Amino acid sequence: MDCALAVDTLWPALLQARSLSSAGVRDLAFVERATEWTCEATESLTVAGATQVVFVVAPTHPVPRPDVMAQARASTLAWRDDGMPDFQHTRQPVDAAVLTLLRVYGPVLLGAAAARARGGVFVVGHVTQTLDGRIACANRSPQWIGNTADRRHAHRMRALCDAVMVGASTALGDDPRLTVRDVPGPQPRRIVLSGHGSVLRTKRQLQLFTDHGCDVVTRTNVTEPAPAGVRRIDIDAPCGGLPPATILAELARRGVHSIYLEGGARTLSSFLTEDALDLLQVHIAPIVLGSGLTSFDLPEVATLQKAHSFAMQHATLDGDVLLSCRPQSARRP
């Protein structure tokens, strides 16, 4: 199957889906009429004029509208036992490129909606790495390892999630903006994790502190005040790393139900170790560095049985590969 992730005609419909799922709608229908795609609530969908339909629905509703499945060129996103999305088709499947987009972004929309319904947070980790699993040169100079299509994908993910989050070293070293610029869409809330408060001590005017500012999650006993543009979220913990479950509970209380966690290695690792990642997206660039920072930084294990295991699907981004990996410990949407 063609799995190139490059169809921007579907983007307005994905933004409509984000609004619907934020309003509590969990059964979505993507519909093409006269080459234009929209997203509607499944129950109010009228099939008249539809040339293609894709249902993206909660796993408990596998065939939402048998009438539509019988009449139109239609597919339903279903769920395999390992939690990965798959499609059930009518005799004439929907275009492969559309299905690829919905296989990548559908689980994020549904995961966020399910998390909102239960008062939790759906967390998608993202890493862009070399063939040998490096995310930065040893000197840590800020450089985007991925290609233009990966950047566009990252901006789509930011627009689809309530918040984007990075660790303090990434905020200080890369000075990222973490805004949506390559596609139209809403700006996410920006969050920096900084248990020891290192990001609060900087004298620099980081880009994250400008425009609509950012939240810094830190420990209650960190004494540095928040610089202009920063809101502190204090967590009562004696030292060092904060438990992801506590961080997520605090963010859910503030209305954040989906997070795009963009690194770096120690931050992603702290969430993976505590089974707090629902999905991991890995972009692989066709280069080998042979040195530098690795994607994860985890305690040593002696056997493969102790490794974190995933179910995995792939899409392509202008020739590079994007893996969607579902930790086998993750909750079903």
The yes or no reply on residue 173 touching ligand NAP (CB under 6 A) is: yes
* Residue number, 76 or 194, with CB nearest to ligand NAP: 194
**Taking a C-beta distance cutoff of 8 angstroms, is the pair 276, 244 a contact?**
yes
> In the complex with ligand NAP, which residue's Cβ is closer, 56 or 199?
199
- Binding-residue pattern over the window 74 to 93 for ligand NAP, x denoting contact by CB under 6 A: --------------------
Q: Residue 92 CB: number of other CB atoms within 10 A?
A: 10
Closest distance between ligand NAP and the C-beta of residue 288, in Å? 15
Q: Which position's Cβ is nearest ligand NAP?
A: 264
Q: Report d(CA 129, CA 126) in Å as an integer.
A: 10
Closest separation between CB of residue 268 and ligand NAP, Å?
7
Nearest distance from residue 192's CB to ligand NAP, in Å?
8
Do 2 and 314 contact (CB within 8 A), yes or no? no
Q: Does 256 bind ligand NAP (CB under 6 A)?
A: no
The piece of 13-21, 83-91, 94-102, 138-146 that touches ligand NAP (CB under 6 A) is 138-146
Q: Which residues contact 200 (CB under 8 A, 6 or more apart)?
A: 194, 216, 218, 222, 224, 225, 226, 227, 230, 232
Q: Is 135 in the site for ligand NAP (CB under 6 A)?
A: yes
197 within 8 A of 224, measured Cβ to Cβ: yes
Whole-angstrom distance, CA of residue 237 vs CA of residue 222: 10
Q: How many CB atoms are located within 10 Å of the residue 137 CB?
A: 15
Instruction: Give residue 64's identity as a one-letter amino acid code.
Output: P
Q: Does 50 bind ligand NAP (CB under 6 A)?
A: no
Helix 11-22 to helix 96-118 angle, to the nearest 10 degrees? 20
Please tell me whether residue 194 binds ligand NAP under the rule CB under 6 A. Answer: yes
Q: Binding of ligand NAP at residue 174 (CB under 6 A)?
A: yes
Q: How far apart are CA 325 and CA 316, in angstroms?
A: 14
Residue (111 or 195) nearer to ligand NAP, CB = 195
Provide, rounded to whole angstroms, the least separation between the CB of residue 126 and ligand NAP.
7
> Which of the residues 94 through 113 are near ligand NAP (CB under 6 A)?
none
**Which strands form 85-89's sheet, in the order they lie side by side?**
36-41, 28-33, 52-56, 73-79, 85-89
Q: Which of 85, 264, 327, 333 binds ligand NAP (CB under 6 A)?
A: 264
Q: Per rule CB under 6 A, is residue 314 in the interface with ligand NAP? A: no
Figure out which of the listed residues 293, 315, 325, 330 binds ligand NAP, where binding follows CB under 6 A. Answer: 293
Per-residue three-class SS string for 107-118? HHHHHHHHHHHH
> Quick check: 125 binds ligand NAP (CB under 6 A)?
no
> Which residues of this protein are in contact with ligand NAP, per CB under 6 A?
127-128, 135-136, 140, 142, 145, 166-170, 173-174, 193-199, 241-242, 244, 262-267, 270, 293
